[in-house]
Amino acid sequence: MKILGISAFYHDSAAAICENGKIIAAAQEERFTRDKHTPDFPKNAVKYCLEESGFSIDELDAVVFYDKPLLKFERLLETYYKFSPKGFISFAKAMPVWLNEKMFLKKLIREGLKEVEEYDSKRLNMLFPEHHLSHAASAYYPSPYEDAAILTIDGVGEWSTAIIGHGKGSSIEILKELNFPHSVGLLYSAFTYFLGFTVNSGEYKLMGLAPYGHPDSEETSKFEELIKKHLVEIYQDGSIWLNQDYFNYATGLRMVKDNKWKELFGIERRGAESELKQIHCNLALAIQRVTEEIVLKMAQETKKLTNSDNLVMAGGVALNCVANGKLQKSGIFKNLYIQPAAGDAGGALGAALAANYIAFEQARVKADQPDSMDGSYLGPSYSNKEVELMCRKVKANYTKYEDLDKMYSLVAEKLSEGMVVGWFQGRMEFGPRALGNRSILGDARNPEMQKKLNLKIKYREGFRPFAPSVLAEEVSTYFDLDEPSPYMLLVSPVKESRRKPLPANYNEMGLWERLYQERSDIQSVTHLDFSARIQTVHENTNPRYYNLIKEFQRQTSYGLVVNTSFNVRGEPIVCTPHDAYRCFMSTEMDVLVINEYVFIKTEQPDWENKEKWMVAFKMD
* 361 & 388 share domain: no
Q: What is the pLDDT of residue 465?
A: 84
Residue 465: CATH number of its domain:
3.90.870.20
The answer to whether residue 377 is domain-embedded is: no
Q: Which of 451, 472, 460 is nearest to 536 (CA)?
A: 472
Tally: H helices and E strands in the chain: 20, 21
* 521 & 397 share domain: yes
- Between helix 218-226 and helix 278-306 the angle, nearest 10°, is 50
The answer to whether residue 618 is domain-embedded is: no
The answer to whether residue 501 is domain-embedded is: yes
Q: How far is CA 519 from the centre of its chain?
A: 27
- CA dist., res. 165 & res. 315, Å (int): 13
Q: Region 574-593: what's the mean pLDDT?
A: 97
Residue 59: CATH number of its domain:
3.30.420.40
What count of Cα atoms within 13 Å lies in the side-chain half-sphere of residue 417? 10
The answer to whether residue 480 is domain-embedded is: yes
**Helix ranges (DSSP H) in 37-130:** 43-53, 69-83, 88-100, 105-116
The answer to whether residue 360 is domain-embedded is: yes
Q: 462 Cβ partners below 8 Å, 6+ apart? A: 451, 454, 455, 512, 515
Which of 352, 372, 392 is the endpoint of a domain?
A: 372
The answer to whether residue 304 is domain-embedded is: yes
Q: Is the pLDDT of residue 93 over 90?
A: no
Mean of the per-residue pLDDT values for the chain?
A: 93
Task: Please state, as a whole number, how many other Cβ atoms lie within 10 Å of the Cβ of residue 169.
Answer: 11
The answer to whether residue 301 is domain-embedded is: yes
The answer to whether residue 478 is domain-embedded is: yes
| AA letter at 143 | S
* 304 & 429 share domain: no
Instruction: Determine how β-strand 126-127 pairs with β-strand 147-153.
Output: unpaired
- CA dist., res. 486 & res. 245, Å (int): 42
Q: What is the pLDDT of residues 223-262, one digit of tens each?
A: 999 999 999 999 999 999 999 999 998 777 688 999 999 9
* 149 & 138 share domain: no
* Diameter over CA atoms, the chain: 73
* 277 & 348 share domain: no
> Lowest-confidence range among 49-53, 293-297, 451-455?
451-455
Q: Is the pLDDT of residue 369 over 90?
A: no
Q: Is the pLDDT of residue 90 over 90?
A: no
185 has which bridge partners? none
* 330 & 365 share domain: no
Q: Is the pLDDT of residue 88 over 70?
A: no
State the DSSP H helix or E strand holding residue 62, giving kind and residue range, or none if neither: strand 62-65
* 72 & 154 share domain: no
Q: What is the pLDDT of residue 73?
A: 65
- CA dist., res. 488 & res. 431, Å (int): 11
| AA letter at 597 | Y
Domain span at residue 120 reads: 1-142+342-372
Q: Which 8-state DSSP code applies to residue 610?
A: G
For the chain, what is the domain count? Answer: 3
Q: Do the Cβ atoms of 220 and 165 come closer than 8 Å?
A: no
Distances (CA, A) of 180 to 260, 478, 552: 21, 42, 49
Cα end-to-end span (Å), the chain:
39
Band of residue 86 on the pLDDT scale cut at 50, 70, 90: low
- Between helix 321-330 and helix 278-306 the angle, nearest 10°, is 50
Using the CB atoms, write b or e for 298-325: b if 16+ within 10 Å. bbbbbbeebebebbbbbbbbbbbbbbbb
Band of residue 617 on the pLDDT scale cut at 50, 70, 90: confident
* 536 & 602 share domain: yes
Backbone torsions φ then ψ of 522, nearest 5 degrees: -125, 60
* 53 & 93 share domain: yes
Q: Does the reported pTM lie above 0.85?
A: yes
Collapse the DSSP code of 137 into the 3-class scheme (helix H, G, I; strand E, B; otherwise coil) and give the result.
Answer: helix
Task: Reply yes or no: is the peptide bond before residue 85 cis, omega within 30 of 0.
Answer: yes
Q: Is the pLDDT of residue 619 over 80?
A: no
* 218 & 298 share domain: yes
Task: Reply yes or no: is the peptide bond before residue 486 cis, omega within 30 of 0.
Answer: no
Q: What is the pLDDT of residues 275-317, one digit of tens each?
A: 999 999 999 999 999 999 999 999 999 999 999 999 999 999 9
* 319 & 180 share domain: yes
* 19 & 130 share domain: yes
- Between helix 577-585 and helix 384-394 the angle, nearest 10°, is 40
Collapse the DSSP code of 460 into the 3-class scheme (helix H, G, I; strand E, B; otherwise coil) and give the result.
Answer: coil
